[in-house]
Structure 1
Amino acid sequence: MEKHLNIKDLNKVFNDPIHGHIELHPLLVKIIDTPQFQRLRNIKQLGGGYYVFPGASHNRFEHSIGVGHLAGELAKTLKLKQPELDISERDVLCVQIAGLCHDLGHGPFSHLFDGMFNPEADPEHKDWKHEDASLEMFDHLVLANGLAQEMERYGLILPTDLTFIKEMIKPLKSDDTEWLYEGRDENKSFLYEIVSNKQNGIDVDKFDYFARDCHHLGIRNNFDHQRFIMFARVCDVNGRKHICSRDKEVANLYDMFHTRNSLHRRAYQHRVTKSVEIMIKDALLKADHHILTKGSGGTTLCLSKAKTDMEVYTKLTDQVIERIFHPCSCSNEFTPSPLEEARMILQRIMSRDLYQFVGETKVCNQGWTGTKHLAQAFLVVTLDYGMKNKDPINTTYFYTKANPTEAFKIPREQVSKLLPVCFAEKILRVYCKNSASLRDAKFCFQRWCHENDFLTEVTLYSVRWQ
């Protein structure tokens, strides 16, 4: 394998605005140069956020390359500093591939597709997530482009390493008792914490999108992922190896999760962003059965069923709105009414005639019966530190300079008395689809909140963005 990895002429250098000049293994380049990966160029990283933040024009393509790069950097750092971990070049390459391919399954407008459109369009599969499609798309990518032979040529062992890569893309939920993975033995457990860390949420996926999203949004990023990688170390915890941080980094990690919460509050869950995304979702729902794509075996599938055929799904990107705006005119048939309604909704977005923000109120899980009596568009926004209402640092291990092999947890009272007590909140937001009835909608919402003992702040300004 070494003879392949040391051929520098085959590596490719990418000039990334976030990480600078990064060098990628030739196998990663072969994966990038496939239709299944190239489709990510046409899927916005922040979904409808681009219609609110003009700088947020970046796509899943560059984010995926960044995650692949950082995954390799963290794996290589651990390999260099702790040779006793027996991290092989094959391990590093698998980790890089997992980072590169972790978002292959995103649909149009990223989380809008699996988080908003799919549950309404396909209720029977409402729990389907883009990670499920990432696994299927990865298999499809390898098969359709004949990459299995290339992977073996660069030293990977199939099918074991394919299993390992997919397990890192979508890790299993484990309680640290029984080892459920097949790609690697338990002594390599720490490798599963690099790309998607189910232990505490500290992973290179977040490192890249924190830096990249802040850069394009014009928001300051206070977390230094390079410092985390520098101080990362693997320690044994109850017979299982975990990636640990220096004890002095605990406050910085709290800052990282605060940055995540801030990005959600200021950008991802921005009131106008969600208004735009509800409108895109409504347009996709109306166009669902009228935008058909031919897939494998000559089958033709609608938008909500495209996820069942990766050949169809490969053709499904943000450009679907262009198909709604400009339906096929090769026949003399009239445009179906639902498709025309979808086009009108999208036209409203372009002319900034958005759904109007009515109001919002904080809700709790107990005693809330929903919004059946609110005849408006509504959604529940969740703001947290990434692990629902749990403190992610409670499942994070640290080590000291004096004893770098012993892992331990740091009680929150030893960190600061200013830390949050609650780590999650839910906010119910209501939007009015017809601006002519905005005043009545606000009155109804206030009355509904009063009847259900919810506090509300009803704004008097429009969501129209200037």
Structure 2
Amino acid sequence: MNWLNQEPKHIINDNVYGRVKVPSPIDKIIDTAEFQRLRNLKQTGLVYRVYPNCEHSRFVHSLGTFSLAYTLVDKLRHNQPSLNITPADHTCVAVAALLHDVGHGPFSHLFDGEFAKRCGSSFKHEDMSIRIIRRIMSKDDIKESFKDILGQGKDYDDNVQFITELISSKPFEFKNIESFKSLSDQQKREAVEDEWISAVSGRGPEKSFLYDIVSNSDNGHDVDKMDYLLRDSKASGVAITFSDQSLSRLLDHVRVVIDPISGLKRIGYSEKCQKEVQSIGDSRQELHSKVYQHKAVRFIEALMVDGLIKAGPLLNYNGSNDKVYPLSKVTEDVEAYIKTSDFVEQEILNSSSRDPRMIEAQQTLQKIQRREIGCKVGSFEMSPKNATQSGGIENNEMGATEVSKKVEERMRQILEAIDEIEGLGGKLANVKFTVMHSVLGRGLDEKTHPIERQLFYRGKPKDSDGQPMEGFYVDEDYVVNNCPRMATKWEIFVMGDRSLKDERNADLVKYISKALRDAGEAEKFLTPRKRSPPQEESPDPNCSVPAKRRLFPAK
């Protein structure tokens, strides 16, 4: 089998890396209708409504991810020849990186998130990506273009299977990993091989490091995340700790090492790159807090979902065998699905339908255009642990949603009681607001910082004996001294009508903000604040300094 043509077929200017070189036959995939569709999907969904420069598409992000994956594998095969990276290995990783997001729907994560949930669907874009990848790779011209690299017949099918596994499988989630420590080396190898075979079939354990590169569910340090952190930070203008220099340093010091626990070959970095690796998870949380889950963005997303739900039954797309699918059902058919894009917003706004549902949807989306969105009137941050320990709430998006509902119910009870006690005539009881949430994580659970699962190596890399070095994980002291106690946090916030920002409603805002905090404490999501009793202090008639500002009490 041959290597990819080293002479680039296309050189694409890129605002993150300067240039992206596209070798043949990768260009054949880029020129398919399925991949070109990504031009019509914004990378950050509706974020551009708050950060106007975030107009970049999934198309450019996919090209950037491809470039990083291609470069990383190229460095490994030159620096560590004993890894026996084949042309097929290199190509499969590059294709997986290029196509990893090809299954996204309108407004990206909104479509397989809140919209899917409202439709009663468990759809995930990763599943659609696999279906579309198989569709692309089954085209006769694609098969012909890649046959010298990926082979034909069963060899080709096995490589396509490997491509899909690179973006969807979780081969490092071993069931009995704790028991590995008590096993002999031979027993460990057998146990790992058994679990590996049950998880993936594209490549054996000897090529396990390839599964770390594109979509790494074990620690999240993959080329997909590295690209979108840099690209979205530049577009939004929000500075993060992960930088161009961080990426360059990681690529210069990446090696394959042996995992001391499983014995598998994994991607590792020099121990002097620990801060750069740590910055990946930290930057993810920072962008989620300031950009992806900005309060205005979250409110706009809620309006968009309402509009899509109302108009969805009236938006139809032709699928396979001349069957027509409404928006909520397009996930059932690839042909219908690839006809959807962010243009669905204009389809609704420009529709001539006089159906009441379409008119309501248009009115909802017009609120976004006129920026008739709510304003934040209060918030608090909490540890997911506080929710999971009180009432069996799950530590995930569904759990955070349940917390929001409980807090809103308790808030309304508190406000109704205050309204009656203060004699406000229903002002508080009838005030319009909604409690929303943001899940701000570093990519794993609330306790685990991603760096805890990253392998490192000491000293200068060497591969002279044909075997990678043994890697190591950071110790507990590093985590305690350098990582926050909570790797994930939930932010619960109240969005009310913009009229609440009027000075005349200042008292209402104070009541709502206090009710939010009291509701959080009442539901045991927050630790009650310790309120010190007021200290009695007799004023000193001979001292002109107010009592609160005195450094020492008067004698």
Q: Secondary structure of 2:371's match? A: coil
Paired-residue identity, %: 33
Cα distance between partner residues in 2 of 1:393 and 1:360:
29
Does the Cα contact within 8 Å between 2:53 and 2:236 map onto a contact in 1? yes
Aligned partner of 2:285 in structure 1 is: 261
Distance 1:174 1:399, change over 3 A: closer
Cα distance between partner residues in 1 of 2:107 and 2:510:
29
- Candidates 117, 131, 134, aligned match of 2:115: 117
- Candidates 321, 335, 343, aligned match of 1:319: 343
Which has the higher mean CA deviation after the structures are superposed, 253-262 or 426-435?
426-435
Cα distance between partner residues in 2 of 1:317 and 1:65:
19
- Candidates 247, 254, 259, aligned match of 1:225: 247
- Candidates 46, 49, 52, aligned match of 1:48: 46
Aligned partner of 1:80 in structure 2 is: 78
Q: For structure 1, which runs of at least 5 residues remain unmatched after alignment?
A: 457-466
Does the Cα contact within 8 Å between 1:275 and 1:357 map onto a contact in 2? no
Cα distance between partner residues in 2 of 1:83 and 1:212:
32
Q: Is 2:444 aligned against 1:387?
A: yes
Aligned partner of 1:447 in structure 2 is: 515
Q: Secondary structure of 1:248's match? A: helix
One-letter amino acid matched to 2:134? D
Q: Secondary structure of 1:386's match? A: coil
Q: CA deviation at 1:415?
A: 6.6
Query: Whose radius of gyration is greater, 1 or 2?
Result: 2
Does the Cα contact within 8 Å between 1:432 and 1:441 map onto a contact in 2? no
Distance 1:272 1:7, change over 3 A: closer
Aligned partner of 2:206 in structure 1 is: 187
Aligned partner of 2:231 in structure 1 is: 212
Which has the higher mean CA deviation after the structures are superposed, 425-434 or 160-169?
425-434
Q: Secondary structure of 2:103's match? A: coil
Does the Cα contact within 8 Å between 1:251 and 1:415 map onto a contact in 2? no
Distance 1:301 1:450, change over 3 A: same
Which has the higher mean CA deviation after the structures are superposed, 150-159 or 338-347?
150-159
Cα distance between partner residues in 1 of 2:18 and 2:43:
19
Q: Secondary structure of 2:25's match? A: helix
Distance 1:357 1:415, change over 3 A: closer
Q: Secondary structure of 2:138's match? A: helix
Cα distance between partner residues in 2 of 1:336 and 1:44:
29
Cα distance between partner residues in 2 of 1:275 and 1:350:
13
Q: How does 1:299-378 map to 2 (within 5 A)?
A: 299-327=323-351, 329=352, 335-363=354-382, 364-366=386-388, 367=390, 370=403, 371=405, 373=409, 376-378=433-435
Distance 1:271 1:233, change over 3 A: same
Q: Any idea what the Cα deviations from partners look like across 1:250-308, whole Å, max 9, x if unmatched?
A: 12211222111111111111111111111111111111111111111111111111111
Cα distance between partner residues in 2 of 1:310 and 1:47:
21
Cα distance between partner residues in 2 of 1:426 and 1:174:
27
- Candidates 427, 430, 433, aligned match of 2:494: 430
Q: CA deviation at 1:437?
A: 11
Q: How does 1:282-293 map to 2 (within 5 A)?
A: 282-293=306-317
Q: Supply the RMSD in Å over aligned alpha carbons.
A: 2.4
Q: Secondary structure of 1:201's match? A: coil
Cα distance between partner residues in 2 of 1:7 and 1:173:
31
Does the Cα contact within 8 Å between 2:173 and 2:218 map onto a contact in 1? no
Does the Cα contact within 8 Å between 2:41 and 2:107 map onto a contact in 1? yes
One-letter amino acid matched to 1:118? A
Q: Secondary structure of 1:234's match? A: strand
One-letter amino acid matched to 1:186? P
- Candidates 253, 272, 284, aligned match of 2:296: 272
Q: CA deviation at 1:196?
A: 0.6
Cα distance between partner residues in 2 of 1:264 and 1:311:
32
Q: Is 2:61 aligned against 1:63?
A: yes
One-letter amino acid matched to 2:457? Y
Aligned partner of 2:399 in structure 1 is: none
Cα distance between partner residues in 1 of 2:438 and 2:312:
25
Q: Any idea what the Cα deviations from partners look like across 1:76-113, whole Å, max 9, x if unmatched?
A: 10000000000012111110000000000111111111
Q: CA deviation at 1:357?
A: 2.7
Does the Cα contact within 8 Å between 2:379 and 2:493 map onto a contact in 1? yes
Cα distance between partner residues in 2 of 1:240 and 1:317:
41
Cα distance between partner residues in 1 of 2:77 and 2:98:
20
For these two proteins, the number of residue pairs brought into alignment is 446
- Candidates 146, 162, 168, aligned match of 1:170: 168
Aligned partner of 1:419 in structure 2 is: 483
Q: Any idea what the Cα deviations from partners look like across 1:158-205, whole Å, max 9, x if unmatched?
A: 100000000001122533441021111110000000001122110100
Q: CA deviation at 1:451?
A: 4.0
Cα distance between partner residues in 1 of 2:82 and 2:148:
27
Cα distance between partner residues in 2 of 1:308 and 1:216:
34
Q: CA deviation at 1:206?
A: 1.0
Cα distance between partner residues in 2 of 1:32 and 1:403:
36
Cα distance between partner residues in 2 of 1:205 and 1:395:
18
Q: CA deviation at 1:144?
A: 5.3
Q: CA deviation at 1:6?
A: 3.7
Which has the higher mean CA deviation after the structures are superposed, 62-71 or 174-183?
174-183
Distance 1:359 1:301, change over 3 A: farther
Q: CA deviation at 1:313?
A: 0.8
Which has the higher mean CA deviation after the structures are superposed, 421-430 or 307-316?
421-430
Q: How does 1:8-19 map to 2 (within 5 A)?
A: 8=7, 11-19=9-17
Q: CA deviation at 1:435?
A: 5.1
TM-score by length of 2: 0.75
Aligned partner of 2:125 in structure 1 is: 130
- Candidates 455, 458, 462, aligned match of 1:400: 458
Q: For structure 2, which runs of at least 5 residues remain unmatched after alignment?
A: 175-191, 392-401, 413-431, 463-468, 528-555
One-letter amino acid matched to 1:386? G
One-letter amino acid matched to 1:310? V
Cα distance between partner residues in 1 of 2:269 and 2:96:
23
